A and B are shown apart, each in its own frame.
Chain A
């Protein structure tokens, strides 16, 4: 998962400084904008703030709504955190940078005094769509990297398959004998 390596070029720093300068926000102001995140147990790599951002991305990207949506996104975000435990530290660092960039996306790219996790769901989804359609390559890159991961695991769930008419792998339910030459 070296999908965030492009952020090593100090893109975040450059974009961040430009965005924040426009708003006259810095240091403690940033922390205040982000607010506090509830403690989350069982995480291996991410802290509560970054996990909250990841969860918010999952909720914006995936086609889940209603009562069970939170649980689905929580499961997939935890899976992501689990994957990070096996990742090279360079990759983990890049991913953390990407999450920070998304969290402050409304500040940097839309000059709003709020952060991604604090947007209401409809606004968050609109903002997240803006990443995919952006003229800035870095935003498209972040959008694509998260989309690839979340879609691969979301659509791997047999509970989702009936919604798209997919009956599942062709060998499911077939006799196991003779399966290997």
Chain B
């Protein structure tokens, strides 16, 4: 077996058409995991990645270039009404390169819920357990050490303890972390054990080839043994198509994120009427606390502690409630979060060293859709349900209480008319936040659904083995399959299901 390669097509845009056994579209947790297993099994595997390969010094820890290069649509992707920023990686290794390195495996309870509500009988805890273990092994998962918890996280932790709210130090996938603090724009020392440093090198060693700056634009299935996939080669920055070629493959695996995979299926006219529906975005609301003392929140692990008091499981809807997690960003992101104009921007940012921030995360009911604009672009529509808003308010109130208990002199909910909480008496103001479209800093980092799996074609877009109904050997292996929120962080679930699905595919063939 000869080794594969990682190639940047922007450096060599004139490519010949080619035929492979398996074409994988997307190089993140799902795509890299599938590519590794298939290459090890002797299949000729080609992986397409729209983004570039960013490692070491190419990860500059700077806002402008990194948000431009590592995120889809220069990090400007949003729901159609601009209510929610949709964060999605566009880089070799996928969103795991730009996540906060949290490991929250899919729970037994959730898997049983999927079995019962969606008829996914193959997804029991016992069946998935070996694959959950493989995922944890890939991630080199471990609990964040006490000495790695920075001041911002510790303030949330102390506050939670004082108000009697349950919480936990999170599992993570860092090895050799030096607390650089810029996880959301990549780790220049490669401490994150993500696909770029685990599955991709192993897949290459087994013979898989990864093509960067290669965008799949259309899949022609037609029931034929060989599917034709039109590929565009992008320039070095990834924003201009400079050439193109065709890949023929016996098997095509969609692994380009719930939104990317769904969009490609829609553009290609593949699948049934369920394609594009049942999208979960898992809204997250930013909360900012100000302290008199220095916090220096941008150094150390940004997301180490979660308040889990509000988390619960709903027999009808699955993962429910809310969760509060510390977070921090570089100056550009934090300032954009704060609704200010002119000199007020600098007044707010003058406290940059003395803030602690967190996100209230709400597992949602699938209430969004992925569509295609007339020009072929992604369109994401999302219905922000009242129960989402209510849980965001509850989470924001608990976050504010925690920070006040930890000594914050002010907690801001940065809506377009900011709400300032300076004492427990002010908490009632949070109840009045309407969460009208585009009035609050909401974001989505864990998109799921769009290609929901179901036991029957009547109920979903994909079969439980990932096969896109109505196609011959076009599969989805990523979070697009999930019928509801799988976890508060999708990295570990995606790895688990990708391990499971690729093994099933290999067993079939």
Q: Complex formed: what's the CA distance from A135 to B428 in Å?
A: 22
Does A63 interact with chain B (Cβ within 8 Å)? yes
Q: Which residues of B are at the interface with A, using a C-beta cutoff of 8 A? A: 55-57, 60-65, 67-68, 73-78, 80-82, 176, 178-182, 188-190, 197, 237, 239-240, 298-299, 330-333, 335-336, 339, 341-346, 349-350, 352-353, 373-375, 377-379, 416-417, 436-439
List 9 other contacts, CB 8 Å, given A60-B341, A89-B375, A165-B353: A63-B342, A90-B375, A137-B439, A148-B336, A151-B332, A151-B345, A176-B57, A179-B57, A181-B189
Are A1 and B343 also in contact (CB < 8 A) when A153-B332, A179-B57 are? Answer: no
Q: How far is the CB of A77 from chain B (nearest CB, A)?
A: 15
A137 to chain B, nearest CB (A): 5
Contacts A169-B182, A181-B197 given; indicate if A148 touches B343 (C-beta within 8 A).
no
* Number of residue pairs spanning A and B whose beta carbons lie under 8 angstroms apart: 164
Whether A180 lies near B62 (C-beta < 8 A) is no
**Of B60, B74, B188, B197, which is within 8 A of A83 by CB?**
B74
A137 & B438 in contact (Cβ 8 Å cutoff): yes
Among the listed A5, A137, A160, which residue makes an inter-chain contact with B436, where contact means beta carbons less than 8 Å apart?
A: A137
In terms of DSSP, what is the predominant structure of the interface of chain B? loop
- Among the listed stretches A46-54, A106-114, A138-146, which one makes contact with chain B, having 4 or more residues with CB under 8 Å of it? A138-146
Residues of B within 8 A of A169 (CB): 60-62, 180, 182
Shortest A98–chain B CB gap in Å is 11
Smallest distance from the beta carbon of A32 to chain B beta carbons, Å?
29
A171 contacts B188, CB within 8 Å?
yes
A140 touches B438 (CB 8 A): yes
Interface residues on A, range: 35 or more
Take A128-B341, A164-B331 as given contacts and tell me if A87 and B239 are in contact as well, using a CB distance cutoff of 8 Å: yes
The answer to whether B341 and A61 have CB atoms under 8 Å apart is yes
A-B pairs with lowest CB-CB distance, top 3: A86-B239, A169-B61, A180-B56
Chain B residues lying within 8 Å of A36, measured Cβ to Cβ, are none
Indicate if A34 sits at the interface (CB-CB under 8 A): no
A141 surroundings in chain B (CB, below 8 A): 81-82, 437-438
Q: Tell me if A's interface is mostly helix, strand, loop or mixed.
A: helix
Q: Which residues of the partner chain A approach B438 to less than 8 Å between Cβ atoms?
A: 137, 140-141, 144
Nearest residue (CB) in B for A169 is B61
Q: Which residues of A have CB within 8 Å of B239?
A: 86-87
- A10 touches B (CB below 8 Å): no
B residues less than 8 Å from A62 (CB atoms): 342, 345
Distance of A91 Cα from B375 Cα, bound (Å): 10
Interface string of A21-42 (1 = CB under 8 A from B): 0000000000000000000000
Q: Determine whether the beta carbon of A132 is less than 8 Å from that of B78.
A: no
Say whether B341 contacts A125, CB under 8 Å: yes
Q: Which residues of A contact B378 (CB under 8 A)?
A: 2
CA of A89 to CA of B375, assembled, Å: 8
A14 at interface, CB cutoff 8 A: no
Q: List A contacts of B57 (CB < 8 A).
A: 176, 179-180
With a CB–CB cut-off of 8 A, which chain A residues contact B237? 86
Residues of B within 8 A of A159 (CB): none
**Taking the nearest CB of chain B, how far is it from the CB of A143, in angstroms?**
8
Q: A86-B239, A180-B189 are in contact. Are A153 and B64 (CB under 8 A)?
A: yes
Contacting residue for A180 out of B181, B190, B332, CB 8 A:
B190
Whether the pair A65, B180 counts as a contact (CB closer than 8 A) is no
Cβ-defined contact, A133 with B73, below 8 A: no
CB contact under 8 A between A155 and B332, given known A3-B82, A128-B341, A163-B346: yes
A132 touching B341 in the complex, CB below 8 Å, given contacts A83-B74, A156-B64, A166-B298: yes
A169 to B78 CA separation, bound complex (whole angstroms)? 27
